[in-house]
Structure 1
Amino acid sequence: MSLIFAVTTLLWFIVALFDYGEFGYIWQLKEYRLDRFKDFLSTVQGKEFLKSYLISGRLGLFIVLIFLFFFKVSIFLPAVLLLTILELSRIIYKILKKQIRYPKRTAKALLIVFIAVLIEFAAWFLVKDVKIMFLLYCSRFFILTFIVGLFYLPTKLIKSAYIIIASKKMFLNPQVKVIGITGSFGKTTVKNYLKQILGAKYNVVATPKNINTEIGIAKFISKTDFSKVDIFIVEMGAYRMGEIKQICDMVRPKIGILTAINEQHLSLFGDIKKTQKAKFELLDSLPADGLAITNSDNQYCRELLPKLKCEYKTFGQNPLFAPNAHIADVKTDQEKINFNIEFDKENLHLEAKVLGQHNVMNIAPVVIIAKTLGFNNQEIIEQVAKLEAPEGTLRALKYGESVVIDDSYNSNPDGFLAAINILKNYSSDYRKLVITRGMLELGEKSSELHQKIGAEIAKNADELIVISRDSEADLKKGAGEKIKIISCFSPDELLKLIQQSKTTRSIILLENRMPGSVLNELKS
């Protein structure tokens, strides 16, 4: 019996480690934020998670155990052994199907999982009551969630310490000109274009990849040497009001770019007016001798400009709003965009080897800043011609006989429509395929916007593959019966579908995040 007990104990904690790892993955994916986690639970995927055996099944078992709590231990030990074997079978199946989920190995994630396992381990050896272990087994999600909650205060204190250190470091480097970038979309692309162009004349540092929160920026500042830096480009993201202001208080931007405002993260902000106020925190934080740059075509970007205390300049394609940098004569093809931009009574003809007409709105604010910082027209023309789109933002990849348009970095309503529009550059000789999980955190506008996207896909593509249940019904409703629609929620099955396209003449648009196995296949 002692050997069985020992083996059961070992296997039990192997299962516990996998369970807590999966729960930790979900919380980490939502940045340990209650607002984002609550929004997740409102989605189809979140509701399925709540209905799953891991939550509802174990909660039901918990209720049964309350009634059986006073039964003898001898009744429970065989049940523990049987349950452990069944759980191991479930885990082995998920391993074989490559469905195991675990958090990125950060100190916080590892510590949260370690504490959860430690609590169960301590209970097992201190209480030595199989009934208590059953109850802990049924409560694992709630145990880990409780630990996440306990981390709130120390995390806040650590974050504050990092911000203080970062603020002091920026104060001690007054030679650094800080350029802040925010908006509902386009932030990362504008940041990369700005770094590429300004880097031709200045020593430029930019926040990496998708680092755009106060703690991520503060950590980056703390480990960066700014002694020889001329320009620091900071991408600023937010899920609620006050977060961008906190970043601005830390880095003190001199120039601010507001790319555009739309329904992205509407479920977290509550309404678009709150989104507008949150994004304008960047422009409101600029000093009197600063420069604000924004999109005159966007209603929410225009509205609050008169209230700014600093100079502002605008860019756009609609002459009705009198942009300082007027974009016109836009032409696109499968490899590049050409357009004219009139700024400071001078007309520049620019060509960039990037995809999508929308990219003119990403390049225009960069041109304004380049001119402001001393670039002449020829230098701007030459640097724009060298621009490369960031990874995962409408980059064309050759895949056998097919062309893949990789827009898997993220997705929003305007960006999705721009990506669909690129399909028009390809002839009807190509089979046009859109693969997407839809868009996240759109709140009450989600259904309407997904149906609109579905309708546009039906007009411009031959086939749609939906890889998330959250957007499945609305995308199908929008597309109607005009095109072939496949629902595919298995990464392995999706990979097979894509591999079948390798020998066909196809255009494959990847919109929003894709399974790693798919991206690895396309880049191999």
Structure 2
Amino acid sequence: MRQALKNFFSRYRPRHVRSIVYMLQASEYNIRDFLKWYWRTKNFSNVEKRKRLEKTAKAKLLLLFGGIFLIVYIAAALVVFNFIPYPYKIFFLAVLLYAMPYILVLLLAVFLFLGQNLLQKPYEFFIIKKAREKLLRHKAIKIAIAGSFGKTSMREILKTILSEGKKVAAPGHSHNTPIAIGKFIESLKGDEEVLIFELGEYYPGDIRKLCNLVRPQYGFITGINEAHLDRFRTLSSTVQTIFELSEFVPDNSIYINVENVLARENAKSEFIVYSRKGVNGWKILNPKTDLSGTSFILKKDNIEIKMESGLLGLHQIGPLSAAADMAFLLGLTPEQIQKGVKKIKPFDHRLEPKMDSSGVITLDDSYNGNPDGAGAVIDFLASLKNHRRFYVTPGLVEMGFRIDVVHKEIGDKLAKAQIEKVILIKNSVTPYIERGLKEAGFKGEIRWFNDALSAFNALPSLTVKGDIVLLQNDWPDQYA
């Protein structure tokens, strides 16, 4: 009862408008996603757990609108209250108080919807139209990357290697939407020789829209899995959307990762396939990986390139090899390719190694939230024998109807890799990991924590020098 009252009155805190605007912002102003989060939230007093509201122009406008609404609502209620007969005043007041937070949410959603359709979409259409016209005149080679996972890493690998012999530009961070790409195109100087675009996919048709903007000559399909399955509904819809890339790029100019099952099963015979075994006639020799990085020799005819990268895991060999082949195709020398590969270091929060003062090695993989990525890092952990290994995870999001299968498979892989310690964050999906562990006969220790912060705070007391801690994925606030 006490908790129920706390939950109810959390809607009447002075900071409630800020909490709602933060939820809208964290949902990327997708009204459907926001409403799903809103209706499953019981207590609104602490929705800003991992991040804080960014005071952007849109956020400030919504805060102002919410504040004005509350003032007008309370003032109007007081005026009407004076005209209500006394026996009904308490009932009227109770109804007004109960309805206020829900009306606030409804009006903010309507205000946002109108703003998006009457102001934002026309503005974005203008920006994207200008960008498309500018890009059509640009003489640079255009490369597009599509896939459920690995897009940002592939982009950075390509950019680093190709920059040894070409002037290369690409949007930063995970800027992969039409408006973000449009703004990037507006910033181009015109003398770039290669442009690399990461194509984001959330709904069917997204890749087609982005390709209409970018008009790529070369493409990469990094793999397909259950990422965003909540939105796509079916894996076949995901496959069709990602393969929209082939409507714009000639089949013999598309590189595809055949280590991924769905990509391999749907690849056309003309595609250029890549894996840790090789790419386009190049063979992989002497592959090695450890905590210092990954190395191998790329050999074709009488050409050998010694590839040494700071990236961790044998699953990196395929993307590195594909990027090297692309570079060779565009005229880079083996020496330039080798030099570029050597400059590649682990990307932020993507199997990024860090050692603290106590000698504990943390592998930060918190931006990696997909089944293939989870499987790859478990394989890498399995190869590190002389360490005690911790696997910390809240599980994966947006796995749709495959949510149980995906997480039980993670548990199964952890058990087979003989990981010593598995730390699970309590939520709706981690019990499936526990079930997978137990069904596979896991002999290590399972520890539970109520939230990620509690787990992180406990790690120093659980670990000793030489231990390896893998942080697998991090749930955004809207999924916590």
TM range (shorter): 0.7 to 0.9
SS for the counterpart of 2:15 is helix
Deviation at 1:110, TM superposition (A): 2.5
Match of 2:467 in 1: 506
Residue 346 (structure 2) aligned to one of 389, 403, 409: 389
Q: Report the counterpart of residue 4 of structure 2 in structure 1.
A: none
User: What residue in structure 1 maps to residue 254 of structure 2?
Assistant: 292
1:256 Cα offset (Å)? 0.9
Q: How does 1:458-477 map to 2 (within 5 A)?
A: 458=415, 459-477=417-435
Asked if the contact 2:394–2:452 (Cα under 8 Å) also holds between the matched residues in 1, the reply is no
Match of 2:363 among 375, 393, 405: 405
Q: Which moved more, 1:23-32 or 1:227-236?
A: 23-32
1-structure distance, mates of 2:259, 2:240? 18
Shift of residue 378 of structure 1?
Answer: 2.6
Indicate the RMSD between aligned Cα atoms, in angstroms. 3.1
For 1:271 and 1:177, the matched residues in 2 are separated by 34
Task: Compare 140-149 and 207-216 and name the one that shifted more.
Answer: 140-149
1:266, 1:100 → 2: CA distance?
Answer: 24
1:317-371 CA-to-partner distances (Å, cap 9, x unmatched) read 468xx95444454322221222243457855442222211111122122012101
- For the 8 Å contact 2:275–2:319, the answer to whether it is kept is no
CA, structure 1 residues 176+475, in 2 after alignment: closer, same or farther (shift >3 Å)? same
Contact 1:296-1:314 within 8 A present in 2 as well? yes
CA displacement, residues 230-267 of structure 1 (integer Å, 9 cap, x when unaligned): 11111111011211111111121111111111222122
Is 1:437 the counterpart of 2:394 in the alignment?
yes
Deviations 1:274-333 (A, max 9, x none): 111111122321269x822112344433455549xxx742212468xx954444543222
CA distance in 2, matches of 1:99, 1:386: 35
Q: 1:282 aligns with which of 245, 248, 254?
A: 245
Question: Is contact 1:431-1:507 (8 Å) kept?
Answer: yes
Runs of at least 5 residues in structure 2 that lack an aligned partner in the other structure: 1-8, 82-92
For 2:101, which of 117, 134, 137 is the aligned residue? 137
Paired residue secondary structure (1:341) = strand
Q: Deviations over 1:74-106 (max 9, x none)?
A: xxxxxxxxxxxxxxxxx5xx59xx849653222
Aligned residues: 449
Cα contact 2:229–2:398 (8 A) shared by 1: yes
1:30 aligns with 2:27: yes
Are 1:19 and 1:140, in contact at CA under 8 Å, matched by a contact in 2? no
Paired residue secondary structure (1:460): coil
Superposed counterparts of 1:362-373, under 5 Å: 362-373=319-330
User: Per-residue deviation at 1:119?
Assistant: 1.7
Residues 108-257 of structure 1 mapped to structure 2, 5 A cutoff: 108-128=58-78, 129=80, 131=93, 132=96, 134-154=98-118, 155-172=120-137, 174-222=138-186, 224-257=187-220
Q: Which amino acid aligns with 1:204?
A: V
Q: In the alignment, is the contact (CA less than 8 A) between 1:17 and 1:113 conserved in 2?
A: no
8 Å contact from structure 2 (residues 346, 353) kept in 1: no
User: 1:195 corresponds to which letter in structure 2?
Assistant: K
CA distance in 1, matches of 2:311, 2:399: 28
The 3-state SS of whatever aligns with 2:210 is helix
**Corresponding residue SS for 1:469:** coil
One-letter code aligned to 1:243: D
Question: 1:515 & 1:133 partners in 2: Cα distance?
Answer: 31
Hey, what's the Cα distance between the residues in 1 that align with 2:287 and 2:235?
30
Would you identify which runs of 4 or more consecutive aligned residues in structure 1 move more than 6 Å? none
User: 1:449 and 1:306, CA in 2 relative to 1: closer, same or farther beyond 3 A?
Assistant: closer
Distance 1:51 1:219 in 2: 35
Does the 8 A contact of 1:315 with 1:324 survive in 2? no
Question: Cα distance 1:465–1:144, how it changes in 2: closer, same or farther (>3 A)?
Answer: farther
Closer, same or farther: CA 236–345 of 1 in aligned 2, 3 Å: farther
Cα shift at 1:136: 1.3
Shift of 1:272: 1.5
CA contact (8 A) 2:31 2:109 kept: no
Amino acid at match of 2:374: F
Contact 1:35 1:268 in 2 (8 A): no
- The correspondence for 2:403, drawn from 434, 446, 452, is 446
Match of 1:497 among 444, 455, 458: 458
1:110 partner letter = K
Mark the CA change 1:432 to 1:483 in structure 2 (over 3 Å): closer, same or farther. Answer: same
Matched, 1:266 2:229: yes
TM-score w.r.t. structure 1 length? 0.77
Identity of aligned residues (%): 25
Residue identity in the other structure for 1:301: A
